[in-house]
Each structure stands twice: as structure tokens, then as C-alpha cells.
């Protein structure tokens, strides 16, 4: 089933009207707008010209039949197709360097043959999903803000071949996604990666018997706990604690054992530092998690 980019929401909200209802497992294709909602047509379109009520649209939501609050869904990301050109911006006050930026600038960058071009440089594409999540149980959350429900986590691991596990807060989950990047570095320090429209092919299923407080992503090489908070320190602390809890619950390690193992072969990493809440992750090698019998690693 294809979900058209014409169905866009600007907040994750339990009151959003579903654009489709599907039984699980389901194969879905989400057509997405770029994070600027298609407003940038040329390099004269700087951030001052944009309607920020139309920024960070997510396509959806989709109601997942039989899914209840408290469940966990697994979103297997099968493929991401990105459209050329990509858009990059700089603006005063935006991002880590925003206080040093004196003049807005927009770049349109071509995408072809697996690379994008920045001046005379070729940058390999690494397509990923910036915004993906379900509806929160409480007040609506703008699509530009990450939290326990997912949202604008801007995590480079959320890419083709990965599986994202999301804790469901309302019946039906109300899954939506958007804000694709053709290329982005960890941190997204200038607020934008290479922003693109495109399509995402996913298979969604219920992760029976799973319980999570925050999203978790599994790639070919790592298992990563994700957390968003008001500061990067808080986000890192939550991601670390959740990995330690996972190792205790599924691998039978003591707290001390989990912590020592994590110090030996795990990594605390930054996802993004520019959204209203910051996002961090803690990664463990998938091969280690498999040997320990952690079910998310299989």
C-alpha cells in the first residue's frame, strides 16, 4: 500500500485522522516531502522566506489494526529512494554554529551515481529517515521534536536494512514518517543534512512480547538504544541506562557486568544536537548481543 505525500501532518497527535488502516504484518510505501515541505525551489529561497508552519511534515498517519497501547512495533526499513536535488541551508541562530552565521544561505546539490556534490567534493549518499514515530498519549508533539514516541530523532542508523522498534502509546499506533536525508553526519550540526523528498518502503509487524520505554534500532552491525532529552548529557545517560537494563533483563548480567561490558565494547554516540530535545544513542556490537542471547539481535 502506498501512502501519498499529500497526507502530511506537522505533529504526532493521537487525534490525527488515519489516512489508512492496515492489518499486520503490512508492507507500506510512504511518499515523503522534504523537511521544508517542498517550499525551496531555488537558492534564493532562504529560511526567512519559508512558512515554518509547513516545516518537518510527516506522511501519515497509518492506523495499525490490533496494536494496543503498551505494545512494541517493529518497522523494518526495506528501501529508501531519494529525489534530486537535495537542499542544504545555513541561517543565523540555527544549529551549533548559528551564533557565528551572519547571512542565510541555501544550496541545491545534485544527487547522482551514489554521491552528492559539494563544490568539487563528492560525498557518498547515506539515505536515512529523520522523522519517524507514533502518536504520543499526551499532548501533540511537533514533528520536529523527538521523544519516547520517536519523532525527529535524526539518527543515521535509521536507514535501509535496519529495524526500528517503537513503543506504542495509543491504540493503532498512528505511524508516520518523513524528513529524509540523502546524506547527513551525526549531530546534524547546521540544522540540515542533505534534505530530500523521496519514498520509504517498510514492513511493519507487532514485536510480540517486547516492552520498551524508548525507541531501539538494530542494524547489520549494532543494537542501539535511543533517547531524547533537554540536554545531551541527559540523553546519553538515559540511552546508557536502557542498554544496561536490556543486558540485565535479556542476557542475565548483573549491573556491574553489564556496565563493564558496555565500557569494553559499547559506544555512546550523538544522533542530533539541534532539535528542541537532543538525541543520543548507545550502541553494542550485534555479534556480542547475539552471543548473549539478546532477542533484539536476531
> pLDDT digit of tens for each residue in the chain (298 aa)?
999 999 999 999 999 999 999 999 999 999 999 999 999 999 999 999 999 889 999 999 999 999 999 999 999 999 999 999 999 999 999 999 999 999 999 999 999 999 999 999 999 999 999 999 999 999 999 999 999 999 999 999 999 999 999 999 999 999 999 999 999 999 999 999 999 999 999 999 999 999 999 999 999 999 999 999 999 999 999 999 999 999 999 999 999 999 999 999 999 999 999 999 999 999 999 999 999 999 999 9
Residue found under cell 523521496: 198
The whole-number pLDDT of residue 156 equals: 98
pLDDT recorded at residue 202: 98
Residues 50, 100, single domain; the answer is yes
pLDDT score at 115: 97
- Is 165 among the domain residues? yes
Cell of 231: 540536554
Q: Per the domain annotation, does 211 fall within a domain?
A: no
Q: How many CB atoms lie within 10 A of CB 203?
A: 15
Domains identified in the chain, total number: 2
Distance from chain centroid for Cα 80: 13
Q: What are phi and psi of 24, to 5 degrees?
A: -100, 150
The reply to whether 172 and 279 lie within a common domain is no
Domain presence at residue 8: yes
Clarify whether residues 160 and 118 are in a common domain. Answer: yes
Domain-located, residue 98? yes
Taking the C-alpha atoms of residue 220 and residue 241, their distance in angstroms, rounded to an integer, is 23
The CATH number linked to 245 is 3.10.28.20
Local structure of residue 17 (DSSP, 8 states): P
How far apart are the two ends of the chain, measured CA to CA in Å?
Answer: 27
Same domain, 202 and 227: no
Please check whether residue 212 lies inside any domain of the structure.
no
Using an 8 Å Cβ cutoff, are 282 and 243 in contact? yes
Residue at a domain's end among 183, 206, 229: 206
Residue 43 contacts by C-beta under 8 Å, 6 or more apart in sequence? 105, 106, 107, 108
Same domain (yes/no): 290, 256: yes
The reply to whether 14 and 155 lie within a common domain is: yes
| Domain-located, residue 216 | no
Whole-number pLDDT of residue 4? 97
Domain span at 201:
2-206
Q: How far is CA 138 from CA 135, 152, 181, 248, 290, in A?
A: 9, 17, 29, 30, 36
| Contact call for residues 250 and 295 (beta carbons, < 8 A) | yes
pTM assigned to the model: 0.97
Residue 98: the pLDDT is 96
According to DSSP, the residues that pair with 127 across neighbouring strands are none
Supply the Cα-derived Rg of the chain in whole angstroms. Answer: 19
Indicate if 227 and 140 belong to the same structural domain.
Answer: no
Q: Count Cα atoms within 13 angstroms, Cβ side, for 99.
A: 2
Tell me the CATH number at 21: 2.60.120.580
Distance from C-alpha of 186 to C-alpha of 188, rounded to nearest angstrom: 6
Closest CA to 134 of 186, 179, 75, 77: 75
CB 57 within 8 A of CB 11: no
- The confidence score (pLDDT) of residue 177 equals 98
**How many C-alpha atoms does 201 have within 13 Å on its Cβ side?**
6
Of 232, 214, 56, 72, which Cα lies nearest the Cα of 149? Answer: 214
- Asked if 116 and 159 sit in the same domain, the reply is yes
Q: Could you tell me if residue 215 is inside a domain?
A: no
Say if residue 170 is in the same domain as residue 60: yes
Amino acid at each position: 500500500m502506498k501512502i501519498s505525500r499529500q497526507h502530511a501532518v506537522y505533529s504526532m497527535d493521537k487525534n490525527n485522522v488515519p489516512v489508512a488502516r492496515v492489518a499486520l504484518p503490512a508492507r507500506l510505501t510512504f511518499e515523503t516531502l522534504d523537511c521544508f515541505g517542498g517550499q525551496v525551489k531555488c537558492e534564493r529561497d532562504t529560511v526567512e522566506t519559508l512558512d515554518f508552519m509547513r516545516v518537518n511534515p510527516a506522511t501519515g498517519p497509518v492506523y495499525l489494526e490490533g496494536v494496543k497501547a503498551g505494545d512494541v512495533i517493529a518497522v523494518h526499513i526495506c528501501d529508501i529512494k531519494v529525489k534530486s536535488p537535495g537542499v542544504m541551508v545555513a541561517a543565523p541562530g540555527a544549529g551549533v554554529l548559528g551564533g557565528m552565521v551572519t547571512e542565510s544561505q541555501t544550496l541545491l546539490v545534485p544527487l547522482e551515481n551514489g554521491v552528492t556534490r559539494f563544490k568539487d567534493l563528492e560525498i557518498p549518499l547515506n539515505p536515512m529517515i529523520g522523522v519517524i514515530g507514533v502518536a504520543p498519549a499526551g499532548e501533540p508533539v511537533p514533528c520536529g521534536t523527538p521523544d519516547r514516541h520517536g519523532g525527529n530523532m535524526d539518527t543515521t542508523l535509521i536507514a535501509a536494512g535496519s529495524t526500528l522498534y517503537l513503543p506504542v502509546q495509543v491504540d493503532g499506533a498512528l505511524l508516520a514518517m518523513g524528513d529524509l536525508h540523502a546524506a547527513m553526519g551525526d549531530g546534524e550540526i547546521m540544522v540540515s543534512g542533505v534534505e530530500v523528498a523521496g519514498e520509504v518502503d517498510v514492513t511493519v509487524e507487532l514485536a510480540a512480547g517486547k516492552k520498551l520505554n524508548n525507541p531501539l534500532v538494530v542494524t547489520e552491525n549494532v543494537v542501539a538504544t535511543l533517547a531524547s532529552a533537554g540536554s545531551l548529557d541527559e540523553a546519553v545517560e538515559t540511552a546508557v541506562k536502557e542498554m544496561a537494563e536490556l543486558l540485565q533483563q535479556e542476557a542475565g548480567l548483573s549491573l556491574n557486568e553489564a556496565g563493564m561490558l558496555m565500557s569494553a565494547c559499547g559506544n555512546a554516540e550523538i544522533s542530533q544536537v539541534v532539535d528542541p530535545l537532543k538525541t543520543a544513542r548507545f550502541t553494542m556490537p550485534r555479534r556480542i548481543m547475539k552471543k548473549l542471547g539478546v532477542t533484539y539481535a536476531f
